[in-house]
Amino acid sequence: MSWVVVSLPPAPGWTGQAAYESVFGQGVDSLIFYPLAFWGIWGTQQVLTVMVTNWLLKVTWEAVLTPATYLVVAALKRHEDAIEDFDRAIVCLEHAVKSGGSTPVHYFELDQLYEAAGVAVEKRLAMMESHRREILARDDSTVSYAGLLIFSGKPDSAIALLRDRIFNIWEGGARFNTVDAWIDAHLVNGRLHLAAGHNHEALASFRTALEFPENLRAERREGAGGRTTEVAYWTGVAQEALGNRAAAREAWEMAANAKPPQSRRGGNDVSVERAVQQYHQALALQRLGDKARAEAVFRELSMNGQAALANAPKEIDYFSSFGEQRSERSRVADAHYVVGLGQLGLGAMAEARAAFNAALAASPDHLGARLAKRGISQD
């Protein structure tokens, strides 16, 4: 009978069903259990006292916990709904772009959602290749397209995109970075030439990395540190491959003496920009024979990455905006990447590979982790 009463739907407008179920259900439970369990063992008065007392205790306890229970259930429901909304947004935009009636911004927003969701680079690039005209209608999507081409080992195609377009950098900045895209493309291009034994082409590519064409509207950042250390190190590698030992040493000395850029992050977050330049500075020190200083830098990188991992989110927060989700993925990936750089410099190949794999798991388009992992495979 109690099951029937509790199971019946509440009357319209009645908001106390949970409290009613608790009071009624616990009462019926106590009324059945205690007489069956203790009648004849305890006296009648004792059975009635224990039955009423325990009923009051259970009802009071449930009343105290009900608000907390609602909060937990509501949070879980919001989490579930947020994930469903996230997936639904991707599905809706995918339908929109397939229908043929979309504007260029829809393609850019779809790629942003893909990036936030950690979608594979191959899928993102395929979408852009299929809708190249719409992608190239916007500066931000063009730079994203170039980044995916660089990641996929097509730096020449990326350079062509960047070189043949006049970018509009609005006051206050933009959501894309033509400087890093240009440098990434030329560094990857140079490293591919080195791997193929095309040392003259590699040197030319490294030298061009910091020569920004006017159409990029790029700020020259050599004086502030920027990525000159990284470029100088690879220039030295190319010079050495050409047999130019004096020129190689000059480039490595430039890298070893360069001032790394200041961290743009606060708290316990790792500055991957600074870490990458420190890593290449340590590599230059190794080439110059100063292994002790280089090892100290590698150990510092590994510790900084580990500290950042301890502060990084354990999973992606679907309550946050898409931009914040990308940021969370980047924080986790960058921390693993910096750990990997430190371990790689120390010669711990297995640990470095594991760190780079973790970085790519968090952010499948992490170029640095991809290149570092590929470098381990080629050694």
Tens-place pLDDT, residues 219-269: 544 433 489 999 999 999 999 999 999 999 999 999 999 887 765 544 445
Residue with tokens 């509790």: 6
**Quick one: pLDDT at residue 216?**
85
- Measure CA of the first residue to CA of the last residue in the chain; give whole Å: 75
DSSP state of 10: P
Residue among 364, 369, 375 at smallest CA distance from 125:
364
- Helix (H), strand (E), coil (C) string for 81-150: HHHHHHHHHHHHHHHHHHHCCCCHHHHHHHHHHHHHHCCCHHHHHHHHHHCHHHHCCCHHHHHHHHHHHH
Residue scoring higher pLDDT (97 or 152): 152
Cα–Cα distances in angstroms (integers) from residue 79 to residues 76, 86, 113, 305, 332, in the given order: 5, 11, 17, 29, 20
What are the two backbone dihedrals, phi and then psi, of residue 243, each rounded to the nearest 5 degrees? 85, 10
Structure tokens at 271: 């500055």
- 77 pLDDT higher than 70: no
Q: Is 166 exposed, middle or buried (0-12, 13-18, 19+ CB in 10 A)?
A: exposed
Residue 118 binned pLDDT confidence (cut-offs 50, 70, 90): confident
Residue 6 binned pLDDT confidence (cut-offs 50, 70, 90): very low
Residue scoring higher pLDDT (223 or 360): 360
> Facing residues of 39 across strands?
42
In this structure, are residues 323 and 332 in contact, taking their beta carbons and an 8 Å threshold? no
Q: How far is it, in rounded angstroms, from Cα 224 to Cα 175?
A: 21
**Quick one: pLDDT at residue 168?**
81
> Facing residues of 42 across strands?
39
**Quick one: pLDDT at residue 78?**
44
Residue among 81, 108, 109 at smallest CA distance from 318:
81
pTM reported for the whole predicted model: 0.73
Among 24-33, 57-66, 217-226, which stretch is predicted with the lowest mean pLDDT?
217-226
pLDDT in tens, 188-201: 999 999 999 999 99
Fill in the amino acid letter for 374: R
Name all domains of the chain by residue range, CATH numbers in brackets. 20-96 (no CATH), 260-379 (1.25.40)
- Non-local CB neighbours of 61 within 8 Å, separated by 6+ positions: none
Neighbours of 290 (CB within 10 A): 14
Residue with tokens 């959501």: 175
